[in-house]
Structure 1
């Protein structure tokens, strides 16, 4: 029978816990409970009031019949640094030593004050070489000690400590189909964006926006009549207050609280709906940037689906907005598979998906632990290693004496052969000199070609790219180019379209360092801003012509040939 643990995620607003099988790929959840985290108890992953939180957890464990004494904590904190790194392949028993020796290269901090943990994402095979792709994490010692102290006050023992992003990935990777997919986990305070390929995580980024940003926007608009945060969240789930595009182009959807005539007459309500869409758009545009970055790093990888989960999955219309703006099919993750729940546990959509981090922490945690515990385990392992080495060294010493004489004879023979080969290769010096002279002439010709080029050769290509990338509601008044700069004067109806334009301009190869200094609004007769005018400046780059690309390839071939001849 699998070992059971109590897996706990102490969030800024809500604390969630599950009784679950430990280190099992398809675990069983025996019990689950959640409660509001008291204000001021948590601060960026640290439990500030450990006595109060320990008392609350003990009371909740008693009320829910939880008797487990081994716990796993899932921590979400900006203090935990994460890196996706690739290291040479080594046996698992040697991986800790390799990571400890190279950690300073990945984290520019004093590693004496940090605890390391990792998770093997995949084994990469390239030709005859193997390497390991790792999710490498560094957490402050004080943060890890904070949770061990909390466990002592609770009267339980820490089995393991996990990172929030890793726990989520352990669950989500079981629900993703074949090929490359994006999983967007929208929480209350932040959004986790993961790029997955079947059972492997390729990339993960955290966006500092969540449903709280959307709710705050709703509460700021009296036209929506939201009494509190709970009322605002219920309205988001019940009524479609989110437009289906960032250009607000879909038909206005009437809510159930006011009549159709009232809704049509209420310009304030429409403005509120636009503001809510902009709040969701802030999350969406950040997701688009992550996807664009993935595309730049992996240009040959085609994304298949976008999966949405977390609290944001309940927002009505959010999936349609993501699908239309990202031009990818969207699926809602509404039920957890490969995980079974006891009959007494409420299996609603919210219950299952909101416990993802706590469930995943028990499946395969990264394993943060106190350095004192690691050192104790390391000393015990070292003693066993010393005994093995002493026994083997006697055998090795005898073998080395016997083998050494045979190696000496072979080395002398090889030395004679190398001297003869060196003598036969003396004629290569003349070939090398001729190649150097030809290369110099070629470089002079290439420099002359570059000096006669102008960036305005690509002006037509630039205009074509602008026509494709500009949102359709924008109009370009002027376009000015110099040898190094491009300046455009543009008018538009909405500010959010400016943000969308900046995202689209990242795909224009001819422009870099795109900047919008300011935006001026033109008011209509009813004192509302109907039109915005702004200037865009960017550095003008020049794409290499076909001939220049051929030149670059020839230079690479020449360099390779020279290096080979010199080595010989």
Structure 2
């Protein structure tokens, strides 16, 4: 059976699995740490470095397979559930292309569109009348993602077969295992978490939140109790090897501890606290689904991805979500090799069968290069046939000329009859020009100070309640304030949280002052992020 390399690239980790074409067996698999800054939100920034690393690792493992199917995960990839009439499958893509602007409020010329079929629904609008329609999940990915993957494949010496989407790949891998009941699969990655709800094997809900293990990694690096001057990879290893999490966000009152033990417990509490927003978003998505389906109870909650390997994460999520949580260690009808102690199937869920659903976000020009080469050989034959046909057509030239003259007269008459359309078109063009001028004028009214409201809302949402703001001032470009917190570690955590604010471009501090009561005063200067453009639309 033909083999293929399936590769998923996250901000912190690259995962490779050599599988059969049906995704029922993993022959070999491995992970590689991604150099810091090489990948940002699913967009590969350094294709040469990453491609060279991948090529060396494949050679070291004697993997000679050159055909690769990539899996992309990014907040820039939009998805929508849509329903279209029941037509021939070869017409679905063209219908999606024609109606893309109804699904996504973007200029689709810079995006690649693809889809997967969730279900074929049957309704009876009238007694005895049956109406079928497709229930689809449609995806739109920037062409820059496809271009970057194509460059990466070139540097790695691979031939790209396609690009899948993480959420679709995970669903394709688990839907047979979760064919009965309602199940939730939580894929925790470096800076995002995707939540998929399956109802009797069908995708009922899929959401992505912008919280992952990145805050926990930075917290581990900030506390010397876990190690001095840890890199991002070393901090992740600490989370996998040591129990750095408390069982709940509220913590457990410990017995008398010496100073070092107390410092370690406080550090663990800070690591646990870094998961608060992620857990809160998962809980809200659960509540949303239950509110729409009041008779539903979850049969299981499974976790996978980078975060599933963190020690204590399963028990922590179970306590916070109020439901039993399991790590995804096995799937029905899937065989796989023995994993190292530090790994498991939970890491490779997205690379088991990414091509199974048919989703392919590879840019069409890249996808058709091979087809063009095949067509070139056929064009020689077509040319020969064309010469013969040309001789035959020459004999019918006179008759054709008379026919074309008649058609020209007819078209000229139609042009004369429809001349009023030109006035309508000119009116439309003028209105469009005015609209674009007004839009450009409005952009000049935007100032960074418009981000003050967003900044204050983020302060209310993300900052701990025990912070006291002593002074506060705002200009057209920045906001400065001083605040008092309970300890130096709280000050460090506060700065880390401020640097996650979407409303801010930069965050700096002029230093800390510790009072006699051990509280810490800190002055902070923040620069606003650029305001969003007038017609900026965001997608889920």
Structure 2 length as normaliser, TM-score? 0.62
Which residue in 1 is equivalent to 2:533?
Answer: none
Which residue in 2 is equivalent to 1:214?
Answer: 216
How far apart are residue 230 of structure 1 and its match? 5.1
Cα RMSD after superposing both structures: 3.3
Q: Distance in 2 between matches of 1:7 and 1:13?
A: 17
1:29 corresponds, among 9, 26, 31, to 26
How far apart are residue 287 of structure 1 and its match? 0.5
Q: Distance in 2 between matches of 1:370 and 1:196?
A: 30
2:362 corresponds, among 369, 372, 385, to 369
1:122 corresponds, among 104, 107, 119, to 119
2:245 corresponds, among 213, 238, 242, to 242
Q: Distance in 1 between matches of 2:306 and 2:46?
A: 27
Which residue in 2 is equivalent to 1:189?
Answer: 191
Which residue in 2 is equivalent to 1:402?
Answer: none
Which residue in 2 is equivalent to 1:271?
Answer: 266
Which residue in 2 is equivalent to 1:290?
Answer: 285
How far apart are residue 226 of structure 1 and its match? 5.9
Which residue in 1 is equivalent to 2:353?
Answer: 360
Specify the structure having the higher radius of gyration (Cα): 1
Q: 1:154-204 deviations in whole A, cap 9, x for unaligned?
A: 443221211122112222334436211211111222211111123221111
Q: Given the superposition, is the C-alpha separation of residues 222 and 146 from structure 1 closer, same or farther in structure 2, using an over 3 Å criterion?
A: closer
Q: Quick check: 1:33–1:64 contact (8 Å CA) kept in 2?
A: no
Which residue in 2 is equivalent to 1:145?
Answer: 147
2:137 corresponds, among 135, 138, 157, to 135
Q: How many matched pairs?
A: 375
How far apart are residue 72 of structure 1 and its match? 0.6
Give 1:105-504 correspondences, 5 Å limit: 105-127=102-124, 128-176=130-178, 178-225=180-227, 228=230, 229=232, 232-248=235-251, 250-252=252-254, 261-262=257-258, 267-342=262-337, 346=339, 348=341, 350-372=343-365
Q: Quick check: 2:246–2:269 contact (8 Å CA) kept in 1?
A: yes
Q: Given the superposition, is the C-alpha separation of residues 55 and 134 from structure 1 closer, same or farther in structure 2, using an over 3 Å criterion?
A: same
How far apart are residue 68 of structure 1 and its match? 1.7
Q: Distance in 1 between matches of 2:25 and 2:237?
A: 31
Which residue in 1 is equivalent to 2:18?
Answer: 19
Q: 1:528-567 deviations in whole A, cap 9, x for unaligned?
A: 79xxxxxxxxxxxxxxxxxxxxxxxxxxxxxxxxxxxxxx
How far apart are residue 108 of structure 1 and its match? 0.8
Q: Given the superposition, is the C-alpha separation of residues 279 and 54 from structure 1 closer, same or farther in structure 2, using an over 3 Å criterion?
A: closer
2:84 corresponds, among 83, 87, 92, to 87
Q: What is the SS of the residue equivalent to 1:312?
A: helix
Which residue in 2 is equivalent to 1:55?
Answer: 52
Q: Which consecutive unaligned segments of at least 5 residues does structure 2 have?
A: 125-129, 376-464, 466-485, 491-515, 521-540
Q: 1:118-157 deviations in whole A, cap 9, x for unaligned?
A: 1112223344333322221111223223323333444432
Q: Quick check: 1:166–1:360 contact (8 Å CA) kept in 2?
A: no
1:38 corresponds, among 26, 35, 40, to 35
Which residue in 1 is equivalent to 2:9?
Answer: 10
Q: Given the superposition, is the C-alpha separation of residues 105 and 355 from structure 1 closer, same or farther in structure 2, using an over 3 Å criterion?
A: same
Which residue in 2 is equivalent to 1:103?
Answer: 100
Q: Distance in 2 between matches of 1:373 and 1:222?
A: 49
Q: What is the SS of the residue equivalent to 1:188?
A: coil
Q: Distance in 1 between matches of 2:227 and 2:62?
A: 41
How far apart are residue 74 of structure 1 and its match? 1.0
Q: What is the SS of the residue equivalent to 2:320?
A: helix
Q: What is the SS of the residue equivalent to 1:170?
A: helix
Structure 1 length as normaliser, TM-score? 0.59
Q: What is the SS of the residue equivalent to 1:130?
A: strand
Q: Quick check: 1:160–1:365 contact (8 Å CA) kept in 2?
A: no
How far apart are residue 223 of structure 1 and its match? 4.1
Q: Given the superposition, is the C-alpha separation of residues 297 and 358 from structure 1 closer, same or farther in structure 2, using an over 3 Å criterion?
A: same
Q: Distance in 2 between matches of 1:269 and 1:33?
A: 33
Q: Given the superposition, is the C-alpha separation of residues 234 and 289 from structure 1 closer, same or farther in structure 2, using an over 3 Å criterion?
A: same
How far apart are residue 375 of structure 1 and its match? 7.7
How far apart are residue 310 of structure 1 and its match? 2.0
Q: 1:50-73 deviations in whole A, cap 9, x for unaligned?
A: 333333332222221122222111
Q: What is the SS of the residue equivalent to 1:340?
A: coil
Q: Given the superposition, is the C-alpha separation of residues 261 and 84 from structure 1 closer, same or farther in structure 2, using an over 3 Å criterion?
A: same
Q: Quick check: 2:55–2:155 contact (8 Å CA) kept in 1?
A: no
